[in-house]
Amino acid sequence: MNILLLADQYKYRGWGHDYAWYWEKELFREELGRQGNVCFFGRGYDPEWEDWLQKKSLTQIFDRYKKPDFLLIHIDLGTIKNYSDVSFNDLNVPKVIILNDYFEDSFLLPSVQPFFEKYKFDLAFGYSGNVIKQFKKDNVGSFQYLLPRGVDTYIYRKLFVKKCYDVLASYTTKRKIYPLRRKIHKMLAKMDVLSYTEGAFFDEAVLKTNQSRICINAGSCYAGFVNYRVIEVLSCGSFLLSERNDDFEFHGYQDGKHLVLFDDLSDLREKIFYYLKHEDERERIANEGMRFVRENFSTRKQVSKFLSILEEHL
């Protein structure tokens, strides 16, 4: 099975804040390249990408790489507009797309819906139950598949280091997108706990996660979903307190077994104090969460699942 992957390449380790949001996709592609027969094309992958983008034709790419069994589009909603004039419908090749954040309340959705009305994809993959619901509503893909995010368990691993912080709440706090995060930081500042709330990325994030007794996750204003921080923290064997949403149960997470969910700031505050005092219970949940994520949501497992689905459509 041959796959031509169209995407923008991003280097993920050591590039700092500006590139932090793309390492998940890059790690997925690297694993895809290890498990499958994949040719990569796009910005960063091929020096002639800019020339191709002006011509808006994929036939010359097929001539170079040979006609693939599948064309995989792996781009962000924000960059779909760059491909709005590409002749995807003229290709006699199954078209596959993997999408993030395709939610009804996303501000990007109105601008990208015409793209999917114009180009009919054969297979569409999304990481959340809410994404799949929106796929079905907008007829994105003749077949829709759930493909939860995967974590690189070699990078996000348990380190045997001393616990230096009571609470880790390291994330961006853009007020409109993440309304609860700024409030959490303000609450922690008033609590008698040692907290870390600065930005931390890549290897530093792994270290800070391992150095913290409790890690806090809060979602965005969009439809509830299990974000990447959840599997990062749990893969490191750290204890997670996360804002509640229905997607956890949908993916098989159990509150109180793999992690602990909170409903509001008052509930979060109480649970922080409780689990700081109950170390044995905290560590038991953290270890069970690590086992669950590593067995079910590793990047290797998700790529294997993805390739198995493509095999069914050959």
Please list the residue range(s) of the chain that carry CATH number 3.40.50.2000: 2-150+298-312, 165-296
Architecture field, domain 2-150+298-312: 3-Layer(aba) Sandwich (3.40)
Is-contact 181 134, C-beta < 8 A? no
Phi and psi at residue 174, in whole multiples of 5°?
-60, 120
Query: What CA–CA distance (Å, rounded) separates 261 from 216?
Result: 10
Q: Quick one: pLDDT at residue 11? A: 63
Whole-model pTM: value is 0.91
Pairing of strands 143-146, 165-168: unpaired
Q: What is the pLDDT of residues 250-305, one digit of tens each?
A: 999 999 999 999 999 999 999 999 999 999 999 999 999 999 999 999 999 999 99
pLDDT at position 83 over 90: no
86 or 150: whose pLDDT is higher?
Answer: 150
Q: How many CB atoms lie within 10 A of CB 23?
A: 19
The mean pLDDT value of the chain amounts to: 88
Lowest model confidence (mean pLDDT) among 59-73, 130-144, 228-242: 59-73
| Model pLDDT for residues 212-232, shown as the tens digit of each residue | 999 999 987 666 788 889 999
In this predicted structure, the answer to whether residue 12 has a pLDDT above a threshold of 70 is no
Burial of 208 (0-12, 13-18, 19+ CB in 10 A): buried
Mean pLDDT of 37-52: 83
Count of CB atoms situated within 10 Å of the CB of 210: 22
Report which residue type is found at 49: W
Distances (CA, A) of 301 to 33, 167, 217: 14, 30, 24
**CATH homologous superfamily of domain 165-296?**
Glycogen Phosphorylase B; (3.40.50.2000)
